[in-house]
Amino acid sequence: MKINPNKCVACGNCTYVCPMNAIYIDPVMNRATIDRDECVECYACFNGLSQEHLPPGLVRGIRKVLSVLRVRFDPEPDVCPTAAFEPDELVWPRVVRRAFSDPSVPHESTGVEGRGTEEVKTNDVTGRVKVGDVGFTIEFGRPGVGVRFREIQVMCWALAKAGVAFEKRNPITSLMSDVPTGTLRPDILDEKVMSAIVEIKVPVAEAEDVVRLVWQVEKQLETVVAIGVATRCNDDGTETVVVPILERLGYSPQRAKTNIGLGRVVTVEEKELVGAAKA
Amino acid sequence: MTNTLHRFGNAQSFKDDFIVFAIPTKVKKDPDAVPKLHRFLEMALEFKPVNMGDSRHGGAIRPSKHLGPLAHWMRDNKPDFRAVIDGVSTPSTCAAVFDNKEAAEKFVKRVKEADLGLSVNISTSIDGAVECCDYADLSRHSIGYSLGFEGKTEKIPDASTASLSTMCGHGMISHSLAKKMICFVKENRRTPEQAAAVLTRFCSCGVFNPARAKRLLEDARTGHQVA
């Protein structure tokens, strides 16, 4: 992302909306400026700010007069008055920043928007996490901190060393140059993203060890980590396997995402089969 | 998309936060996914959601690319649910957000009766989802627990700010903007509704809960910690 200095009027609205705090008013130029190394190409500024198309010279003049009089206009806080933001043409490896940070862009590897994962949200159709399995989503960087792939690799190495298998349909896994060792492509390691999720699945008996391993590794990282733990419920809808493990580890889960089991397989092929059977 | 899972707060804090979303899997493509998603959102309207959205096109309160100058005095903060429904053109995750359990329960029951075949999830407190399932006579299929935030948690701001900013799990609502809106409400420069609308516009998939945000902003005005 870039800000056109010929349009920017240094109103400062954009400095608050950047989730990475990467925008500031350069005191020499008196224009909003983006710290490219910290920018994760999330497009929150471009997509989230409403835009006016006012003449920059006029706006600067009015702002100057008001400033001299110590009068402060109280405009809407989520507006760029001159539509000064202009998306860059992103090339590899910088383009991975946007793929992991702008939720409106689907990941090429999975076709899913956001962090590109389905987890147990479609488990009633995919059967991804079965009875006896525990699925983990280990998310880095949010809220509002961000993460570089170099740090994610530290966790991936540790998980791989522990013999954990990575979910194949996951954007992080698709960026590994060597999946068995959890090694990521070297050309992306310094790229920063809003957040990214490593997905793994283990037998119930190994779940506690995985959490303890994550605790150990997260201490070495300069970012925040959010763990999600997924499991299949019993036939009567109760869940009696994972909660006792979490409580033993000292957690008291408050919030969850609950798949209510209404999904079913409806593909073109299956529709045709049903049609043929009826005929 | 775990963007509704890791919301900052305890179970009590989610008493007015119920997100019901439908998701067609990319693994086994449903050729009728788009009309089914339209129907899902149309049904949600009957139960007065506070927000709706699809992950490709945004929520019911959106930013404008051509804002008129009078907007500084007469900003339109009304949700446009019709724009959300009409905008769904490809299979994506569609969500409806409710600020009360009764509406969520009735909607879940309605979705069950419609038998769309889409995967449907409820994101709220664990007990809240159980109660929705009980009301609709459904058994939970799978569950994904949030264990909260760990690691360098000193980089996370205060509870009021984090409760607002984490309502967009994609991180589109910056801590700075959430803090600024708390200050605006404290200084009486904006009402909680107006401040909540500003935050809502940054959520690009419509899962932000403006009703909960309004309550959190009102609490923050008087220094109450979130609950």
The predicted-structure confidence for A144-179, as pLDDT tens digits, reads as follows 999 999 999 999 999 999 999 999 889 999 999 999
**Mind telling me how many Å the CA of B119 is from chain A's nearest CA?**
4
CB A31 within 8 A of CB A63: no
- Taking contacts as CB-CB distances below 8 angstroms, the residues of chain B near A229 are 144-145, 147
The whole-number pLDDT of residue A277 equals 46
Q: Is B28 left (phi over 0), alpha (psi -120 to 50) or beta?
A: beta
CB B119 within 8 A of CB A124: yes
Nearest-CA residue of chain A relative to B25? A122
Residue A219 class from Cβ within 10 Å (0-12 exposed, 13-18 middle, 19+ buried)?
exposed
pLDDT band at A116 (very low <50, low <70, confident <90, very high): low
CA–CA separation, B186 vs B198, rounded Å?
15
Select the more confidently predicted residue: A266 or B201: B201
- Taking contacts as CB-CB distances below 8 angstroms, the residues of chain B near A139 are 2, 6
**Does some domain include residue B107?**
yes
Q: Is the pLDDT of residue B100 over 90?
A: yes
Q: What percent of chain B has pLDDT over 70?
A: 96
- Taking contacts as CB-CB distances below 8 angstroms, the residues of chain B near A271 are 31
Pairwise CB contact (< 8 Å): A233 & B29: no
**Mind telling me how many Å the CA of A187 is from chain B's nearest CA?**
25
Q: Is A178 left (phi over 0), alpha (psi -120 to 50) or beta?
A: beta
**Does some domain include residue B2?**
no
Q: What percent of chain A has pLDDT over 70?
A: 91
At B148 the three-state DSSP class reads strand
The mean per-residue pLDDT over the stretch A119-142 comes to: 92
pLDDT in tens, B54-90: 988 889 999 999 999 899 999 999 999 999 999 999 9
| Element containing residue B220 per DSSP (H, E) | helix B210-221
Q: Which two tokens stand for residue B183?
A: 């200050």
Question: The whole model's pTM is what?
Answer: 0.94
**Mind telling me how many Å the CA of B129 is from chain A's nearest CA?**
7
Strands (E), chain A: 2-3, 23-26, 31-34, 50-51, 79-80, 85-86, 133-140, 147-148, 165-166, 176-178, 183-184, 192-193, 196-203, 224-232, 255-259
**Mind telling me how many Å the CA of B187 is from chain A's nearest CA?**
12
The whole-number pLDDT of residue A107 equals 67
Exposure b/e, B173-201, CB count within 10 A at least 16 = b: bbbbbbbbbbebbeeeebebebbbbbbbb
CA nearest neighbour of B91 among B23, B4, B19:
B23
pLDDT band at A73 (very low <50, low <70, confident <90, very high): confident
Question: Same domain, yes or no, for A82 and A164?
Answer: no
Task: List the single residue in A18, A144, A257 with the smallest CB-CB distance to B165.
Answer: A144
Pairwise CB contact (< 8 Å): B93 & A113: yes
CA–CA separation, A86 vs A32, rounded Å?
13
Pairwise CB contact (< 8 Å): A115 & B2: yes
Task: Specify the number of domains making up chain A.
Answer: 2
Q: Is the pLDDT of residue B53 over 90?
A: yes
**Residue B198, domain extent:** 11-221
**Does some domain include residue A272?**
no
**Does some domain include residue B6?**
no
Task: List the single residue in A123, A125, A224 with the smallest CB-CB distance to B150.
Answer: A224
Choice among A263-277, B44-58, B85-99 with the minimum mean pLDDT: A263-277
Question: Same domain, yes or no, for A14 and A112?
Answer: no
Question: Same domain, yes or no, for A121 and A243?
Answer: yes
Question: Same domain, yes or no, for A48 and A113?
Answer: no
Q: Which of A68-77, A95-104, A110-119, A149-158 has the highest mean pLDDT?
A: A149-158
**Does some domain include residue A259?**
no
Pairwise CB contact (< 8 Å): A256 & B162: no
Task: List the single residue in A77, A254, A268 with the smallest CB-CB distance to B198.
Answer: A77
Q: Is the pLDDT of residue A109 over 60?
A: no
The whole-number pLDDT of residue B1 equals 44
**Does some domain include residue A262?**
no
Interface A-B, measured as beta-carbon pairs within 8 A, has a size of 356
Question: Same domain, yes or no, for A35 and A119?
Answer: no
**Does some domain include residue A146?**
yes
pLDDT in tens, B135-170: 999 999 999 999 999 999 999 999 999 999 999 989
The whole-number pLDDT of residue A20 equals 98
What is the full DSSP assignment across A114-149? TTS--TTTTHHHH--S-TTEEEEEEEESTTTT-EEH
**Mind telling me how many Å the CA of B194 is from chain A's nearest CA?**
10
Q: Which two tokens stand for residue B73?
A: 């005095």
- Taking contacts as CB-CB distances below 8 angstroms, the residues of chain A near B30 are 266-267
Task: List the single residue in B122, B140, B147 with the smallest CB-CB distance to A233.
Answer: B140
Task: List the single residue in B6, B120, B151 with the smallest CB-CB distance to A260.
Answer: B120
Q: Is the pLDDT of residue A196 over 90?
A: yes
**Mind telling me how many Å the CA of B104 is from chain A's nearest CA?**
13
Question: Same domain, yes or no, for A124 and A70?
Answer: no
Task: List the single residue in A19, A235, A267 with the smallest CB-CB distance to B28.
Answer: A267
The mean per-residue pLDDT over the stretch A83-102 comes to: 95
The whole-number pLDDT of residue A265 equals 76
**Does some domain include residue A100?**
no
Q: What's the whole-number average pLDDT of chain A?
A: 92
- Taking contacts as CB-CB distances below 8 angstroms, the residues of chain B near A83 are 65
Question: Same domain, yes or no, for A140 and A37?
Answer: no
The whole-number pLDDT of residue B27 equals 64
Nearest-CA residue of chain B relative to A247? B147
Nearest-CA residue of chain B relative to A112? B26
The whole-number pLDDT of residue A274 equals 45
- Taking contacts as CB-CB distances below 8 angstroms, the residues of chain B near A86 are none
Pairwise CB contact (< 8 Å): B149 & A233: no
Task: Specify the number of domains making up chain B.
Answer: 1
Question: Same domain, yes or no, for A77 and A181?
Answer: no
**Does some domain include residue A152?**
yes
**Residue A68, domain extent:** 2-86
**Does some domain include residue B4?**
no
Question: Same domain, yes or no, for A142 and A215?
Answer: yes
At A24 the three-state DSSP class reads strand
Question: Same domain, yes or no, for A61 and A172?
Answer: no
Task: List the single residue in A83, A223, A266 with the smallest CB-CB distance to B151.
Answer: A223
Question: Same domain, yes or no, for A122 and A239?
Answer: yes
Q: Is the pLDDT of residue A108 over 80?
A: no
Nearest-CA residue of chain A relative to B136? A260
Which CATH number characterizes residue A165's domain? 3.30.70
The mean per-residue pLDDT over the stretch A93-101 comes to: 94
| Owner of token pair 């000292």 | A250
Nearest-CA residue of chain A relative to B201? A48
Question: Same domain, yes or no, for A72 and A187?
Answer: no
- Taking contacts as CB-CB distances below 8 angstroms, the residues of chain A near B29 are 267-268
Task: List the single residue in B31, B120, B122 with the smallest CB-CB distance to A268.
Answer: B31
pLDDT band at A252 (very low <50, low <70, confident <90, very high): very high
**Mind telling me how many Å the CA of B101 is from chain A's nearest CA?**
15
CA–CA separation, A112 vs B177, rounded Å?
28
**Mind telling me how many Å the CA of B142 is from chain A's nearest CA?**
4
**Does some domain include residue A224?**
yes
Pairwise CB contact (< 8 Å): A260 & B155: no
